[in-house]
Amino acid sequence: MTSEDITTRNIPAWYYLTYCHHTEKPHLLLHVHKNFISANPSVDPQSRIVKFLKEDFAFNSFAGDLNGNYWGFNEAFERTGEIDDFVVFRINIPVLIQKTTSECRRCHGSGQDGYQENQPCARCGGSGKVFDVDWQAAWAISASLTVFTMPADMFDGPTNTAFPQPLTLQTSTKKGRSMCPISGNFSREMVVWIASKFSHQEEVIGEITKAMISAQESMFAEQLNQCDKCQFRAHITTPHGWLNISCLGDASGITPGSGAEYDMEHGEGYGFDPHNVDDPLQQLYLVVALAALTGFFLKETA
C-alpha cells in the first residue's frame, strides 16, 4: 500500500499531524500508530540519507528509535505520551530570531522609523539592535520530517483506527531555490469533507490561515503587518474541494497536482504539489497549515 491509495480507499490512519497554537508555545503533534512503530521501529543512523543530512547541515545528533524519548535530528521530536493506539511526539515551533548587541544600522539604535513618525524601525522592530536568524532548528525539523515521511509513505500493516488517514506528506531538505518541497495526498474522506464544508468558490479557511500566521509570529517573536498577513491564505476555489494554500514568499505554497480536478469531480482524493518552496520556514508554514486542516477535519468527523 502506498500513500496514494488513500485517494480512492478508506484506509485507517497510521500517522497524522495536528497543530496547537492556543498555547504559550505553539507546537505540532505527530501521532504515530503503534503498529507502524512495530513495523518500522528505527532508522539506522548510518543510513545514507541520515549521514548526508547530518553532515550537510552540521547537526549534532540523530535519534532514530521511535520507541525512544526523542526522534530526529537535534532531538526535534519529543515523545510526550500516548493517545489511544498512537504515540505522540511534540515538535515545538522554534524561536529563530536572536537579538545581538550590535546597533541597528537603519535607525542607528533609536528604534524609531526615520520615515514615519511614532512608528518602530522596520528592520529591528523598535529594539535598536541587530537581529540574527538561527536557521538550525528549522532545518532540523525539516530534515527530521524528510526522514520520517520516507517509510511513512508506504505501510502495509493494519491499524484498526476508527478514522481514516486524513492526508500524507512527503518532504525534502536541501539548500537552494525550491529545494524544500512538500507534496502529498489528500484522502477521499478529507476531500469529500472539504467539499461539503466549504462549498462556496473562493471561500477562505480561517483556521488554516490563523495557524500559519501564529507559527510565523512565534518564530520571529513579533506581530506581522497586514500586508505580510495577506500572503498567508488557504482557500477553496471549486465546489469539489480544490484547495490552494499560500505563504510568505514568491507565490510560495501548495496546489492540487495534475489530474486533481478529474479526481475531485469523481468523489476521490487527490495529490498536491509545491510551488516555489525555497526554505525550511516556508515548508514549516505549509506543514502547520496541513496539520491545522487535519485537526479541523478530525474534530468534526472522528
DSSP characters over 119-167: -B-TTTTTSSEEEEE--HHHHHHHHHHHHHHHHHTB--S----SSB--E
In a domain, 122, yes or no: no
On the question of pLDDT at 2 being above 70, the answer is no
On the question of pLDDT at 223 being above 70, the answer is no
How high is the pLDDT of residue 172? 95
- Residue of 153, 232, 243, 233 lying closest to 194 (CA atoms): 243
Residue 262 is given by DSSP the state H
Share of the chain above pLDDT 70, in %: 96
On the question of pLDDT at 268 being above 90, the answer is yes
In a domain, 120, yes or no: no
In a domain, 116, yes or no: no
Q: Is 183 helix (H, G, I), strand (E, B) or coil?
A: strand
Confidence of residue 1 (pLDDT cuts 50, 70, 90): low
Lowest model confidence (mean pLDDT) among 73-82, 201-210, 253-262: 201-210
In a domain, 126, yes or no: no
The x, y and z cell numbers of residue 120, run together, are 518602530
How high is the pLDDT of residue 109? 82
For the residues 195-208, what does the mean pLDDT come to?
82
Lowest model confidence (mean pLDDT) among 40-54, 144-158, 196-210: 196-210
Which range of residues forms the domain containing residue 261?
3-96+134-301
Instruction: Give the burial class of 84: count Cβ atoms within 10 A of its Cβ; 0-12 exposed, 13-18 middle, 19 or more buried.
Output: exposed
For the residues 193-205, what does the mean pLDDT come to?
82
How high is the pLDDT of residue 179? 85
On the question of pLDDT at 27 being above 90, the answer is yes
Q: Where are the beta strands (DSSP E) in 126-174?
A: 129-133, 167-171
- Contact 287/144 with Cβ under 8 angstroms? no
Of 20-24, 104-108, 283-287, where does the model show the most confidence? 283-287
Higher-scoring residue by pLDDT: 26, 120 = 26
In a domain, 201, yes or no: yes
Residue 5 is given by DSSP the state G
- Contact 74/22 with Cβ under 8 angstroms? no
In a domain, 119, yes or no: no
The x, y and z cell numbers of residue 133, run together, are 536568524
**Per residue in 62-92, pLDDT tens?**
999 999 999 999 999 999 999 999 999 999 9
On the question of pLDDT at 224 being above 80, the answer is no
In a domain, 190, yes or no: yes
The x, y and z cell numbers of residue 143, run together, are 530534515
In a domain, 282, yes or no: yes
Confidence of residue 22 (pLDDT cuts 50, 70, 90): confident
CA–CA separation, 159 vs 166, rounded Å?
14
**The total number of structural domains that make up the chain:** 1
Helix 280-301 / helix 188-197 crossing angle, nearest 10 deg:
80
On the question of pLDDT at 211 being above 70, the answer is yes
Contacts of 47 (CB under 8 A, 6+ apart): none
- Average pLDDT of the chain, as a whole number: 91
